[in-house]
Amino acid sequence: MADKRKSYAKFQCDSCKNVTHFVHKSKKDASAQKKLEMKKYCKHCRKHTLHKEAKR
């Protein structure tokens, strides 16, 4: 049977190194080798910081 689970990415804050966000990725993004980067709000730092995709 085919695996129906969606792939997801964990986002880790650059300044405090905490994993704060989880985002579902499409299949074409999951196969890409480059890691995603976004500016997101970190509840630990209490400000908007750069978040990079962490290891699964």
Note the pLDDT of residue 32: 59
Average pLDDT, the chain: 85
Any domain includes 43:
yes
Any domain includes 17:
yes
23 burial via Cβ count (<10 Å: 0-12, 13-18, 19+): middle
Any domain includes 40:
yes
Any domain includes 44:
yes
Note the pLDDT of residue 14: 95
Cα 33-38-44 angle, rounded to 5 deg: 120
Domain range holding 13?
8-25+35-53
Query: Which amino acid belongs to residue 32?
Result: A
Any domain includes 3:
no
SS3 assignment, position 21: strand
Mean pLDDT of 15-23: 93
For 28-45, the pLDDT digits (tens) are 755 556 788 999 999 999
Note the pLDDT of residue 6: 75
The CATH number for 17's domain is 2.20.28
